[in-house]
Amino acid sequence: MFVDSHCHLDRLSDNTHEGSLAAALTAARDVGVNQFLAIAVSLDDMPGLADIARAHQDVVISAGQHPLHEALVEPSVSDIKEAADQYGAVAIGETGLDYHYVDSVPVAVQHERFKRHLIAARELELPVVVHTREAKEDTLALLREYSDPHVGGVLHCFTEDLDMAREAVRLGFYISLSGIITFRNAQSLRELARQLPLDRLLIETDSPYLAPVPHRGKPNEPAWVVEVAECIAQARDISVDEVAMQTTANFYQLFREAVPDAPENVKQALAQAGLVGR
């Protein structure tokens, strides 16, 4: 059993299964992917994401505004909370800080936006999905000040260092690894995957972006989260089944609002293993 804990299902390429989302999800289910968290880039995305979730029982959604997505009007805490409530989001985000492309959204705007998302997540008691790039100290500082360690969240598509990952875990966060871990020059990420506790790891595709080896150069798709799990298993010298089961359990431990929508076979297997419902 696998979970794609971060994918942009409303942005899948027309070149992926001839533009058929249903076909892309079927291909993922055929290789054992049983749950998908479709991530919002803008609050304007929410109606479309909600339509996808209504059409596919194994899809749940988040509510938020990406740090690099320009907004005519910055969403307030109330706006974020109302969107999450209205559309049944199981998480807030993606949000965070990205200092690689500061020309699109100024750093000061990113900071205020991130704070509002963290406050909304804390007030709703929903986990927060964090995008962080070249902003280690500021990201951690804001998490320390505004996040709730009892609710936590995830640093998605993680590419920073082991020290940051360990501090995020200490603050109640999970670390999600994407297809980047399969890249030839990603040895540090593979070492990070080996050293972090397996019960704090998630796997994702971030599709349609960042296709893993051996699919580099193609639009990414949810089925390829399996390659991420295989790479982690190799780095840790354990079975892919162990990675699949534990990262699936981790997902439902974090995104508890997704548990009622989980496929029955997944709920039964996790309960039998004592990994949820404890």
Residue type, 84: A
* Residues linked to residue 70 through DSSP beta bridges, in sequence order: none
Task: Give the C-alpha distances (Å, rounded to integers) separating 193 from 36, 160, 237.
Answer: 22, 12, 11
Peptide bond into 214 cis (omega under 30): yes
**What angle, 0 to 180 degrees and rounded to 10, lies between the N-to-C axes of helices 107-124 and 77-87?**
50
Cα dihedral 96→118→171→141 (10° resolution): 60
Place of tokens 């431990």: 253
Task: Give the C-alpha distances (Å, rounded to integers) separating 101 from 44, 48, 98, 110, 112.
Answer: 22, 27, 7, 11, 17
Query: Is 6 labeled as ligand-binding?
Result: yes
Query: Is 199 labeled as ligand-binding?
Result: no
Peptide bond into 94 cis (omega under 30): yes
Q: Which two tokens stand for residue 107?
A: 């750093």
DSSP secondary structure letters along 49-89: HHHHHHH-TTEEEEE---TTS--SSPPPHHHHHHHHHHHT-
Query: Is 257 labeled as ligand-binding?
Result: no
Query: Is 69 labeled as ligand-binding?
Result: no
Question: What 3-state class would DSSP assign to 134?
Answer: coil
Query: Is 94 labeled as ligand-binding?
Result: yes
What order of strands is seen across the sheet that includes strand 201-203? 2-7, 33-38, 59-63, 91-98, 128-133, 153-155, 173-177, 201-203
Distance CA 254, CA 90 (A): 10
Query: Is 215 labeled as ligand-binding?
Result: no
Annotated binding residues for a divalent metal cation: 6, 8, 94, 131, 156, 206
Annotated binding residues: 6, 8, 94, 131, 156, 206
